[in-house]
Amino acid sequence: MNSVLKNVTVIIPAHNRPERLRRLLGYYSGCGLRILVPDSSKQCYNGDVSSPDVTYIHRPGLHFLLKIKEILPLISTDYVLYCADDDFIVPSAIARMVEFLDDNPDYSIAQGHYLTFTPKERGVEFYPRYIRYFDSRIVADNPAGRLLQDKCKYASLLYGVARTEQFRSIYGYCFGKDGELRFRNLFLAEEFFNHAMLIHGKYATVPCFYSARERIKGSATETVVPISEIRSSDEYRWEYDGFIDALSLMLSDKTGMEYDESNRFMRKVCASPKDSADVSFKRKIVVFMMRHRWLRWASDILDWRYNQKGLKAVRGMTSYPCEFSTPEKEAIIKVIEQYS
């Protein structure tokens, strides 16, 4: 497995969570992966980054997309992925994604199944996550077809394993001719990545335990302006137009489509709801409750209900080790306890 992982770079875009970064670097120590850490924290990380497999760059306050622009020339492997500093993406699962992409050159990106975890006094609790489309694949033979299929079977691709050549090429479109960012919103940056990778190729969810994500209150989900507001507000019109412009230019370059046509197409795609009206309504309710402390009790009840439904839905699936042990899960528990 190590021979496969030596051809993979993990990007950890750290920001003001040195204890999580220390834990994640400990988890990946010695596994063979190349690690890039563009850190925009106020304070420089004071942990050990002496390993030849780790490259640490401190750029306090630098925007996410500018951090990525700076490190792109440093990626020397054929495959690359993001891993948030509060996540664990399983090395053996990364190797499996690489093998899948090697065998399927028409696919641009792949990932597996996700758990969330919460450290408790009596141990670490795990629950399934993103189960609505746990068998999602986007397989149309052309970019327009894949973008339209994305609306029907949405799953974020941001933390999937991607081909470096394609990963590197998409980010140039985030900048105008003057070198300025076309958009800055982090949700738009994630949505841009999703669409851009589908412009370049197909997507697969491979049935294996891929990642464990920590549930942390006060994350970007609660603090960043949502895309629905960006799309409809005059205040953010420039950002949304820049986001559409970046994708339209990429689609034109990839397909030969005239810019005006690609721009109309991308506006149509990005205006389409990713979920049913019922699911969208539930998401809005959850976000509303999370933003009002006096409603957190109701949010906790909904979380519990979602977790129980999830456990029932994945029972018997080996790729969701919530209620049973696997070596991959035990390795994550060990490092959580070690660095707690």
HEC readout, 14-31: CCCCHHHHHHHHHHHCCC
- C-alpha angle 123-124-126 in degrees, rounded to nearest 5: 140
Give the span between the Cα atoms of 226 and 286, in whole angstroms: 13
Sequence letter at residue 88: F
Beta bridge mates, 113: 209
CA distance to 11, 114, 142, 171, 263, per residue, from 258 (Å) = 34, 39, 16, 21, 9
Residue 173 and residue 167 in contact, taking contact as beta carbons nearer than 8 Å = no
Buried/exposed code over 274-302 (b: 16+ C-beta within 10 A; e: otherwise): beeeeeeeeeeebeebbeeeeeeeebeee
Tell me which residue of 4, 80, 92, 82 sits closest to 38, measured CA to CA: 82
Nearby residues of 17 by Cβ (< 8 Å), 6 or more positions away: 41, 85, 86
- CATH number of the domain within which 24 lies: 3.90.550.10
Residue 298 and residue 289 in contact, taking contact as beta carbons nearer than 8 Å = yes
The predicted structure's pLDDT at residue 51: 95
Give the span between the Cα atoms of 109 and 146, in whole angstroms: 13
**pLDDT tens, the chain, 340 aa long:** 788 999 999 999 999 999 999 999 999 999 999 999 999 999 999 999 999 999 999 999 999 999 999 999 999 999 999 999 999 999 999 999 999 999 999 999 999 999 999 999 889 999 998 887 778 899 999 999 999 987 655 578 999 999 999 999 999 999 999 999 999 999 999 999 999 999 999 999 999 999 999 987 655 555 678 888 888 888 999 999 999 999 999 999 999 999 999 999 999 999 877 645 555 555 566 555 556 665 565 666 677 677 888 889 899 899 999 999 999 999 999 999 999 8
The predicted structure's pLDDT at residue 105: 98
The predicted structure's pLDDT at residue 130: 85
Q: Look up the domain containing 76 and give its range.
A: 2-338
Give the span between the Cα atoms of 26 and 11, in whole angstroms: 15
Provide the number of structural domains found in the chain: 1
